[in-house]
Each structure stands twice: as C-alpha cells, then as structure tokens.
Amino acid sequence: MAITRIQLDKELVSRRKAMLEAVGIPENPSVYPEFNSPISYAIRQCGGTVTDFTNVVDGDLATVDPADYDKLMDLAEYRLLMNIKGRWAKVDIRSGPFSQNLSQLADQLDKDIAAMKTSVAETYGLTGATIQVGVIDLDFMETDPDASL
C-alpha cells in the first residue's frame, strides 16, 4: 500500500514539531500546505512525478517506489528545514536589562541543515555529478588509403 499524504505530514511533524511551532506553523490535523514544496521536491528526487507542486496529493506519492520511502521522508525533511530557515527572520534583541537570543534557532537550523545534507548525501549518494579525466589508447594507427606511397 502506498504512503498517504496525511501519513507523510504526520511523520514530518513528528520529526520537526518544535521548529514548526517556532516559525508559526500550527499543528493541524489535516494536510499542511507548507509541506507541498518539500514533499514535491522529495518526490521528484525519488524519480516520481507531481501533477501540481502546490498541491501534492496521494496520487503523486503513489509514483514513488515503496523502497524509496525512507529517502522520500529524509529529503522532504531536509527541504522542510531549509523552508523553516527561510521563514525565521528574528534576531537577538537587547533593551536595557532585557534580552532575547532569537538567533539561536537560526544557528541550530544551520547545524541541522548541514547534518541532514551530509546524511542524505552519504545515505542516498546524492553528492552530484563528478568529472573524471582519462585517456583511451586504442593502440592502432589510422592510414589514409588515398595517400600515395
């Protein structure tokens, strides 16, 4: 049986609930519209297709091979972390004896994103294309049949 959108949303919330709450994404029993971009990205990276990236549905998730579900969840979480970081625009505040260190979440997000990127790259081999250089020696000499001897 294919994974459903609600199941995937619940998994992403369970992984990053505190960070979602910090950036103002409330816990919601239905589908999270904020998860469309991360999930559609993950589906495409897993070889699936998405009909409408602004509204991912169960049919889009059915295009992913069940063997790639862990990859799907990890990539969606990775992209979700980047989206959370994009929503976090708060900085440290100091006013007399009062201070708030709001940049700590941004620092933690940077660390989590870097760790997630490394984990995803190592686990799923998503390090990108590499260039390799070499020489092919065919060990023969081409001759021109029209050349006079």
pLDDT (tens digit per residue) in 84-143: 888 776 555 566 566 566 677 788 888 999 999 999 999 998 655 556 676 676 666 667
Rg (CA), the chain: 24
118's tokens: 């490394």
Q: What is the mean pLDDT of the chain?
A: 83
**Minimal CA–CA distance to 23: which of 93, 106, 100?**
106
**Quick count: other Cβ atoms within 10 Å of Cβ 19?**
19
Question: pTM of this prediction?
Answer: 0.75
**Phi and psi at residue 59, to the nearest 5°:** -60, -35
Query: Are 106 and 85 within 8 A, CB to CB?
Result: yes
Give pLDDT, residue 106. 80
Segment 127-138, tens digit of pLDDT: 555 566 766 766
Where is pLDDT greater, at 29 or 76?
A: 76
**Minimal CA–CA distance to 126: which of 67, 45, 66?**
45
pLDDT at 51 over 80: yes
